[in-house]
Structure 1
Amino acid sequence: MYSFETVHHIEYTTREAVPVTEIIKSLQGFDKIVQELPNLANALVLEGAVKKVELYVQEISAGSLDQDFILRFFFKDEQGFNEWITTLREKTGMDNPKVASAVIGSLIAAALAYGIYLTLSKDASEAATATITGNQNTVIHFVAETLNVSSDALMQVMDTSIRDKKMLAQGAVLAVHPAKADKEATIVIDGNEKTIIEAKTIQAAPERFDPPQPESKVEEYPRALVQIRATDLDSEKQGWRCIVPGLSEHRVKMVVDPTVDRTKLAREISVMASIAVTSKFNPEKKQYQITEVFLRDWEQIK
């Protein structure tokens, strides 16, 4: 593989020294964020060119937290890199030798702003939503101009090309955390005043990100012990109840596949069965609870 390096400066404008634990959080956060850069760089420049990226710390300065990162991008070979950089120059209209570094720096800012945006929940206040969305729009607009695309087109690329939105959101929360102790602190990437993560945005970002749980889920169990507790020979959907040891110790609704002989099944107390278990998330108990067991097929216990 052929590798290419860019160097980026991250400045936290905090007025007090930042604890080591917070520095570690920020490093962990940016490491998560940059993992999505190959996906963005490929989607926006040349599909499939960048294979992976690795982050290295070059320098950390005391006082207001300053970090210098080295990003090492890997391409299939030198020709692949040359094709990518040529396409990048054509798209941006920039022939500056540092065009790649400038674009990558702006993509870091865009990914960070987008990651903070992803943390917004349905319960977020209108003020927090407006602050975070407004800051993101400002950053996205600048990055879109740099790449000669519309802001809507860039947002669409980010929506579709970022593969692990949960990881990106968690990375963004960690990355901004060192600045939360100072209500006036901002985050400046590569000294670019147009891609600042503003103080209000940092304060509006959550302390941690717990992605919302899906309302329901279905899990398949090809061979599970099912204890029959109630039957109805006239219906495959009504009247059937069961217990699935290890999954549910209380009776739950059971639906029987129409192809199953209900008369034979009703004679059994326990069977080995192929089942699909539907569960719904209970926000009060913060756990999934089984609502239905669909029995596809079964066999007697020998």
Structure 2
Amino acid sequence: MELVVNQQIYYSNKKLIPIEDVAESLLALEGVIRHSPEVLEALFPGVKISAVDIYIKALKSDSLWEDVVVKFIFGSQDKLDLFIENARERLGMNKISNDGLLSVIIILLIFVGYSYLLNRDQTVTQQQRDTIEANNNTIINIGAGMVDITAEEFRILIDGAVKDKEKLAKDAVRIVKPAKLDPEASITFNDNQALQILPETVRAMPGYVSDLEDEEFIEDFPSLEMEVRATDLDSTKRGWAVVMPEISEERVKLHLDSTIDRRKLHEKDRFKGSATVIFKLDKKYKKLPKLVLLREIIE
């Protein structure tokens, strides 16, 4: 009751890619693939996909090669058989991966995310928009040819299948982010040079989502070294600030747990503590500490 599809993505970067960017791109890829059942159901009316699971099959460095396994879960064998028969009739094949239909869907979902972003970001130039749209049109024509519909019909079908375009835009930016580290890098899908986000497209794509500065990320640190920069014996939430050398050299606001003796902390220049750090993202998609919640001083 499941259909298994292998999917490879190759970033042609010449230098090693930071592990944080690799992790973000994989999580974003998962997010984008989770939109694909809605597209497939729109392409093949009458088919219902119950769930989709994504697994890492292989990960190679130098450049970056991400090899994942996508499992489309159907509610019954009959529903799986219906999908395979429908796909065979429409595509002349019994696996949607044979001619790269899933790759086409993933690429176009990335472009749908960027389209949503470009409609909101007035700082993007017309030349950037034209470059992105040209690459998008190429992939649309390939996909439309696969399922034997017009390019415009295929464009409308892909766009209409996406329910949460804001989340898709954020995932699209994260997927492209590793390639933006190299001005000549492209992103190729399933080792098919026709299914590619071109270097000039990567360069034209914005590297951030303009409203992400409002998004926060929370991370717990069981033992974090901190340097005191400001204190206030009259409050646990006002006037306190620290620097965390492991994370950032910037001064960050500190809130104290009510169980902490403020006078004891006031006497210290440097200490270790159990803490929760709240991060935000800057326009370059880098995590910046916004607030530290000190749970306990470690003696």
Could you say whether these structures have the same fold, taking a TM-score greater than 0.5 normalized by the shorter chain as the test? yes
Q: Following the alignment from structure 1 to structure 2, what is the Cα–Cα distance between the partners of residues 14 and 28?
A: 19
Cα separation, 2, equivalents of 1:208 and 1:187? 18
SS at match of 1:196: strand
2-structure distance, mates of 1:11, 1:165: 25
Which residue of the partner structure matches residue 61 of structure 2? 62
* 2:35 corresponding residue in structure 1: 36
Deviates more, 1:55-64 or 1:122-131: 122-131
Deviates more, 1:9-18 or 1:42-51: 42-51
Q: What is the Cα deviation at residue 155 of structure 1?
A: 1.0
Q: CA contact under 8 A between 1:46 and 1:84: conserved in structure 2? A: no
**Pair 1:111-2:120 in alignment:** no
For residues 132 and 80 of structure 2, what CA distance do their matches in structure 1 show? 35
What does 1:240-259 align with in structure 2 at a 5 Å threshold?
A: none
Q: Which residue of 1 aligns with 2:269?
A: none
TM-superposed deviation, 1:154: 0.8
Q: Which residues of 2 match residues 1-302 of structure 1 at below 5 A?
A: 2-92=1-91, 94-95=92-93, 97-101=94-98, 102-120=100-118, 121-210=121-210
C-alpha distance in 1, partners of 2:46/2:20? Answer: 38
User: Which letter does structure 2 place at the counterpart of 1:72?
Assistant: K
Q: Distance in 1 between matches of 2:107 and 2:54?
A: 15
The residue number in structure 2 matching 1:215 is none
**Aligned residue number for residue 246 of structure 1:** none
1:117–1:19 CA distance, 2 compared to 1 (3 A):
same
Give SS of 2:181's match.
Answer: coil
Q: Deviations over 1:78-106 (max 9, x none)?
A: 110110111111112x13x4444532222
- Write the distance in 2 (CA, Å) between the matches of 1:147 and 1:29: 26
Tell whether the 8 Å contact from 2:42 to 2:161 is kept in structure 1 after alignment: yes
Structure 1 stretches of 4+ moved >4 Å: none
1:200, CA displacement in angstroms?
1.5
Q: Which has the larger radius of gyration?
A: 1
- Contact 2:5 2:96 (8 Å CA) reproduced: no
Q: 1:14: how far off?
A: 0.6
**Alpha-carbon distance in structure 1 between the residues aligned to 2:196 and 2:158:** 19
Aligned partner letter, 1:192: N
Distance, in Å, in 1 between the alignment partners of 2:209 and 2:144 is 27
CA 1:211 to 1:78, structure 2 compared with 1: closer, same or farther past 3 Å? farther
Q: Does the C-alpha gap of structure 1 residues 128 and 40 become closer, same or farther in structure 2, counting only changes over 3 Å?
A: same
Secondary structure of the equivalent of 2:51?
Answer: strand
**For the residues of structure 1 that align with 2:211 and 2:52, how far apart are their CA atoms?**
25
Q: Provide the C-alpha distance between the structure 2 equivalents of 1:19 and 1:143, rounded to a whole number of angstroms.
A: 33
Q: 1:129 to 1:189 in 2, by over 3 A?
A: same
| 2:233 alignment partner in structure 1 | none
Any conservation in 2 of the 1:119–1:205 contact (CA below 8 Å)? no
Q: Distance in 2 between matches of 1:61 and 1:71?
A: 18
* Structure 2 alignment gaps of length 5 or more: 213-299
Closer, same or farther: CA 9–157 of 1 in aligned 2, 3 Å: same
Q: Tell me the amino acid that sits aligned with residue 165 of structure 1.
A: K
User: 2: CA distance between counterparts of 1:113 and 1:168?
Assistant: 9
**Counterparts of 2:180 and 2:46 in 1: how far apart (Å)?**
37
Amino acid at match of 1:207: G
Root-mean-square deviation (CA, aligned residues, Å) is 1.6
SS of residue matched to 2:197 = coil
Deviations 1:112-156 (A, max 9, x none): 232223221333201111111111111111111111111100111
Q: State how far apart, in whole Å, the 2-side matches of 1:81 and 1:54 are.
A: 15
- Helix, strand or coil: the match of 1:38? helix
In the comparison of the two structures, how many residue pairs are matched? 209
SS across alignment from 1:21: helix
Alpha-carbon deviation of 1:211? 5.5
| Pairwise CA distance, 1:27 | 0.6
Give the corresponding residue for 2:294: none
Tell which deviates more after alignment, 30-39 or 40-49.
Answer: 40-49
Q: 8 Å contact 2:12–2:64 — kept in the other structure?
A: yes
Give the aligned residue type for 1:154. F
Distance 2:26 2:126 in 1: 30
CA distance in structure 1 between the partners assigned to 2:156 and 2:17 by the alignment: 36
